[in-house]
Amino acid sequence: SILGTGAFAKVYLARQRGLSDRLVALKLTFRQNHESQWLATLQHSAIVPIYSTHFEDGVYAICMPFLGNTTLVDLLQGVPPETSNPKLHWLKPTLRKNRTGGHAMLSTIQQRHGEIETILKTDTKQSVLPSRFVDQERSSVEPSISSGLPKDTPTSRNLNQCDYVEAICWIGSQLADALAYAHRNGVVHSDVKPANVLIAFDGQPRLLDFNVSYKRSPDAFLEATSPMGGTIAYMSPEHRQAFEKPTVVDARSDVFSLGVVLFEMLTGRLPNRNDGIPEAPSRWNSSVSPAMSAIVRKCLAIEPGARYQSADALRDDLIAQYLHEPLVHQSEPSVLERISKWCHRHPRLSSSISIASAATILVALLLSGIVARQAALNQADWVHRVDMLRQRIPGSMAMLTSLDAFPELENQVLSDLETTFALMSMPSVSPAKTDPRWTSLNAVDRSLRSEVCRLAWIANQRSWTKSPTIPRDLAYAELLQDDRSRLDPITLRKERNFGAAIQVLKQQVELNPQDYVGWWLLGDCYLATKDLPNAMQAYTVCIALQPKDALPYLNRGVARFQASMYEGAAEDFRTTWILSPSWQWCHLNRALALQMLGKIDEAITELDEAIHADYESVSVFRLRGELYAAKGDLQSAQSDYDRALRCDPKTDQHWIDRGLILLGINPQLAAESFENAVEISPSSIDAHQKLAYVYSELLAKPEKGLEHSSLLVELAPHEPTHLAGRAVLHARSDRGNEALEDLHRLEQMQFDDPMV
């Protein structure tokens, strides 16, 4: 008979004649896929194993053990969740004594097996039900379905004693463990839903149907994925998005799908996705405790980064909840539930308390309940803020220190800093003395306090006045005095004393190899001094420490581009965009790398994507015009140059690109554009180089050219081309001594470029 029907296959109950007429599940399909290969590598108690594969006349067959005909869909239909329990049902032991949920599930399994008995009794080849459906060596874990409930295994006995929510919690933990095992082997299921969860004879859940699963290499989470299929109602947001455009879909998508399954099992309905806020199952079922609701809601977070980051973490919390222990990866939302868990784990101690003592404690709790609850909530909120702060600071620091190089980040950096500092709600007057939360933070983690000060200090160096969230009063500078060394690299970097900064940072990361910010600043300093191999190495360490952070890929791409490693640069810029799709200007960076590789058409396509995403800028149109000109399409090139000049320049690079277009048309307007770039970024070497050239070569203003040439030497004193260029301008202006002095300094320098 047919056990189940899917989109691409049917599963039959069959006999394997060659092996004692044992019953098997035979999956037949006309569509070849990797399911059998995945299953062959996954040996787990909660994943249906595989016996063999076959191919005949265009039909592919997978032979698996017959473990029953019940799925979670059948349990949903046979044992609907009780959603009309009294308030705090989960907290009241008297209401939890009647643990019928697991028993009802086993009864449903037995009823479903009764249908198989009827089929087997009409089988002409065998008229009586065999004593066992499985091999002798598997009988202990796959019991027979003869009369009566399967009580002869630890699994069935355990399930028989559970109430409904406990049973769902245990089933979820088994499925999470199976997914974690699959993910460790590189397999993402991609279609977790009730119909794909088999409930075996003894109640053991097992994952089915790896038909649309796919395999990823250990670092493949960085690659955009287009999954083959799935079920829309259970898909994660990024899984849905992947059908429209390249999107990173990793193991956390399975975590989301399992969260939907848990929600449906607990409430009898699918979660509401309309407002983007994960729905609490306790809203529909009062039997669901706050901790269980918190677990499910964390699974259902819209952003993958807000979910459980692995199925292992989800399994840990589900097992902790099932065993009435504190959650491991999620804070306990209810103090009352935590107390209830403690009492459940210590029944003798809690039962030995006298009635009088219990009454006294109860009265005391009632009188102090509001205050205690608020204090507990405040403490939980503070701990959560500290954890969030610790996670956010490295990324905030990296973005803040990247503003000079990537001014397009300004709005995002400002928003990020406001969010980070809002976690502290830091006042503007001496937080060390007036804010008790600051004192708490000081007691919790001195290094974290120092990092907060450090971030605030750097933020205050910029001219943001419109954000009241960023602390401005430096009255808390005394907090920095005992840790000034942490600020030295920032100060030295700002003063362009990169050599000294590198020495401090090297010592810093040697003492703490996990110091993300230290490695980040080290990479910046190496990049500024053109030590490109060490810069790439430092950014690679940052990637290893924060693999989902886009900035290290972006900066490593810049370093690779400057080192003429254009293939690697193009790949890094692509990864940056995948991790941060809103950074449309990454298309421009990648187009530049593709241009250097001679891939003109690909570069134009990359810029087309940026323009299609409404990222229209001077730089994009100028580069596309240059690419069209290289192809000989002068009409399209001129059209793009005209569009570039109509764009409003917003960054120093935009003004530089505008000046480059005007260079052959009106050198004076070009110089004005370059001057605007310098006004935005006074340390822009590129803008000063352009100005030195325009004034000295095109506008006959050698003094102005010499002025900018001298600024170049000040900004990068170890760059030989700057000294050589100034020496030429000195000689032209009859300043022979100054020219010889520059040439003498040039002789003392060591450099690798033979052209210099």
* pLDDT band at residue 169 under the 50/70/90 scheme: very high
Mean pLDDT of 584-600: 88
Q: Which run of H or of E encompasses 229?
A: none
Mean pLDDT of 163-177: 90
* pLDDT surpassing 50 at residue 495: yes
Distance CA 19, CA 740 (A): 96
Distance CA 338, CA 331 (A): 10
The amino acid occupying position 420 is T
Task: Report how many helices (DSSP H) and strands (DSSP E) the chain contains, helices first.
Answer: 33, 10
Query: Exposure pattern of 635-650 as b/e (b: 16+ CB <10 Å)?
Result: ebbeebbebbbebebe
Instruction: Say if CB 456 and CB 418 are below 8 A apart.
Output: no
For the chain, the C-alpha Rg in angstroms (whole number) is 33
Mean pLDDT of 328-340: 80
DSSP state of 269: S
- Give the residue from 660, 625, 656, 617 showing the smallest Cα distance to 641: 625
Q: To the nearest whole percent, how much of the chain has pLDDT over 70?
A: 72
Pairing verdict, β 214-215 and 197-199? unpaired
Mean pLDDT of 358-374: 60
CB atoms within 10 A of CB 377: 13
Opening angle at CA 740, ends 737 and 743, nearest 5 = 155
Q: Catalogue the long-range contacts made by 224-230 (C-beta closer than 8 Å, 24 or more residues apart).
A: 224/248, 224/578, 225/249, 225/250, 227/190, 228/190, 229/7, 229/190, 229/191, 230/190, 230/191
pLDDT tens for each residue of 441-493: 444 455 566 667 667 666 766 655 445 555 554 334 444 444 444 456 777 77
CA 186 to chain centre: 17
- C-alpha torsion sign, points 623, 625, 629, 630: positive
HEC-encoded secondary structure of 61-92 = EEEEECCCCEEHHHHHHHCCCCCCCCCCHHHC
- For residue 558 the two structure tokens come to 């810049």
Instruction: Say if CB 588 and CB 608 are below 8 A apart.
Output: no
- Give the residue from 560, 501, 506, 553 showing the smallest Cα distance to 533: 560
In this prediction, residue 375 carries a pLDDT of 60
CA 360 to chain centre: 49
* pLDDT band at residue 639 under the 50/70/90 scheme: very high
The amino acid occupying position 164 is Y
Instruction: Say if CB 595 and CB 627 are below 8 A apart.
Output: yes
In this prediction, residue 146 carries a pLDDT of 41
Q: To the nearest whole percent, how much of the chain has pLDDT over 90?
A: 15
In this prediction, residue 132 carries a pLDDT of 40
Instruction: Say if CB 678 and CB 694 are below 8 A apart.
Output: no
Instruction: Say if CB 179 and CB 311 are below 8 A apart.
Output: yes
* pLDDT band at residue 230 under the 50/70/90 scheme: confident
- For residue 63 the two structure tokens come to 């032979």
Distance CA 471, CA 23 (A): 71
CB neighbour list of residue 39: distance below 8 Å, 6 or more residues apart = 47, 48, 49, 50, 62, 64, 210
- Give the residue from 630, 637, 695, 693 showing the smallest Cα distance to 661: 637
Winning range, highest mean pLDDT, from 95-109, 266-280, 608-622, 717-731: 717-731
Opening angle at CA 518, ends 310 and 436, nearest 5 = 75
What are residue 198's DSSP bridge partners? 71, 206
**Residues in the chain, total:** 756
Average pLDDT, the chain: 77
Strands of the sheet containing 205-207, edge to edge, are: 70-71, 197-199, 205-207
CB atoms within 10 A of CB 55: 9
DSSP state of 136: G
* pLDDT surpassing 50 at residue 76: yes
More confidently predicted of 644 and 335: 644
In this prediction, residue 384 carries a pLDDT of 62
Winning range, highest mean pLDDT, from 222-226, 234-238, 369-373, 396-400: 234-238
- Give the residue from 714, 726, 724 showing the smallest Cα distance to 682: 714
* pLDDT surpassing 90 at residue 363: no
- For residue 341 the two structure tokens come to 């868990």
- Its pTM stands at 0.47
What are residue 23's DSSP bridge partners? 15
Mean pLDDT of 312-324: 87
Distance CA 409, CA 586 (A): 12
Angle between helices 736-748 and 720-732 (to 10 degrees): 160
Instruction: Say if CB 727 and CB 705 are below 8 A apart.
Output: no
Distance CA 159, CA 102 (A): 5
* pLDDT surpassing 60 at residue 667: yes
In this prediction, residue 331 carries a pLDDT of 82
Instruction: Say if CB 597 and CB 567 are below 8 A apart.
Output: yes
In this prediction, residue 474 carries a pLDDT of 39
In this prediction, residue 308 carries a pLDDT of 92
Mean pLDDT of 43-69: 85
In this prediction, residue 433 carries a pLDDT of 42
DSSP state of 198: E
In this prediction, residue 635 carries a pLDDT of 92
Q: Which run of H or of E encompasses 353?
A: none
- What separation in angstroms does the CA of 452 have from each of 144, 296, 521, 610? 62, 32, 17, 36
Instruction: Say if CB 707 and CB 727 are below 8 A apart.
Output: no
Residue 125 burial by Cβ neighbours in a 10 Å radius (0-12, 13-18, 19+): exposed
CB atoms within 10 A of CB 685: 14
pLDDT tens for each residue of 419-437: 776 666 543 333 444 444 4
Mean pLDDT of 729-752: 85
* pLDDT surpassing 70 at residue 98: no
pLDDT tens for each residue of 626-636: 999 999 999 99
Least confident of 184-188, 253-257, 553-557, 714-718: 714-718
- For residue 78 the two structure tokens come to 């046979």
* pLDDT surpassing 70 at residue 60: yes
In this prediction, residue 365 carries a pLDDT of 60
Mean pLDDT of 708-716: 87
Instruction: Say if CB 643 and CB 621 are below 8 A apart.
Output: yes
In this prediction, residue 321 carries a pLDDT of 87
